[in-house]
Amino acid sequence: MALTPKQQRFVAEYLIDLNATQAAIRAGYSAKTAKQIGQRLLTFVDVKAAIDAAIAKRSKSTEISADAVLQRFWSIATADANEIVEYRRTCCRYCHGRGNRYQRTQGELERDRAAHDVLVRAHQANSKEPHPGTFATMGGDGYDARKPPHPDCSECFGEGEGRTHIKDTRLLSAAAKCLYAGVKQTKEGIEAKLNDQHAALVNVARHLGMFEDVVKIKDGDLPDLTKMAPDELAALLTALRPLFAPPHLGGRGTADGA
């Protein structure tokens, strides 16, 4: 049975935003009953076939496939956030200094020595200027903030100092590029933004039908665990256990099956 012109209009409108109610209104159906009519139209075999054909054609023309979308979610879910931002514990100024004393980089040492020389010359030119004393090299040069802490350091006791390091995002792997969502300037400094790995994993699981027997996830919402009946919750946990439980409890130990 061919579609009526009004049904054809509904199909065309539905393809714009995939909202059956709004599509029914725009196609000229009564706004009062648009919700019911929209839902009913979607169950008509001919309407459904027309929509499916148009979506398939659109996917082909833009080369977007469900596989590509799924692959992208999987990349987000499994990318290593450490590729983008690291929290490091590295040496303090005293860790590797000679005699456990304050250490500078070679450049810092040269600058400080030059500043000291200026004070010495000022004193030589005018004895009323105070003499700065002899220049103290203290722990010497060679400070490198990337080195690990020294376990015997008398200042930090081997704990070092915490530093946040954001990587050069031009050099990220393909998966990490999917996870990376830009940077933000805050009062405290630069903040790296990441896409939601948990949501991506849930999307993959939904696509694979992993939750279907257990609980319906409606309209993209996660189930509210506090509102689930005890038997539903137990069923959900049973379904998830193989994914997350450690091997001695019969699981795979990790969420990605690695």
Q: Which CB atom, from 15 or from 156, has the smaller least distance to Zn ion?
A: 156
116 class by beta-carbon count within 10 Å (0-12 exposed, 13-18 middle, 19+ buried): middle
Q: Which CB atom, from 140 or from 223, has the smaller least distance to Zn ion?
A: 140
What is the Cα–Cα distance from 89 to 47, expressed in whole angstroms?
61
What is the closest distance, in whole angstroms, from the C-beta atom of residue 135 to Zn ion in the complex?
A: 24
- What's the sign of the alpha-carbon dihedral 181, 17, 65, 200? positive
Q: Which residue among 76, 95, 179, 201 contacts Zn ion (CB under 5 A)?
A: 95
From the list 47-55, 90-98, 127-135, 208-216, the region that binds Zn ion by CB under 5 A is 90-98
What is the closest distance, in whole angstroms, from the C-beta atom of residue 99 to Zn ion in the complex?
A: 13
Q: Which CB atom, from 79 or from 95, has the smaller least distance to Zn ion?
A: 95
Q: How many CB atoms lie within 10 A of CB 73?
A: 21
Give the pairing type, strands 161-166 and 180-186.
unpaired
Helices (H), the chain: 5-17, 20-26, 34-43, 45-62, 66-78, 106-125, 174-179, 197-207, 230-244
Site for Zn ion in 143-202 (CB under 5 A): 153, 155-156
Q: Which CB atom, from 151 or from 242, has the smaller least distance to Zn ion?
A: 151
Residue whose beta carbon is closest to Zn ion: 153
Beta bridge partners of 180: 194
> Using the rule CB under 5 A, is 139 a contact of Zn ion?
no
What is the closest distance, in whole angstroms, from the C-beta atom of residue 147 to Zn ion in the complex?
A: 10
Which residue has tokens 């040496």?
A: 91
End-to-end CA distance of the chain: 51
What is the closest distance, in whole angstroms, from the C-beta atom of residue 105 to Zn ion in the complex?
A: 16
Q: Which CB atom, from 156 or from 236, has the smaller least distance to Zn ion?
A: 156
> Using the rule CB under 5 A, is 103 a contact of Zn ion?
no
- Interacting residues with Zn ion (CB under 5 A): 92, 94-95, 153, 155-156
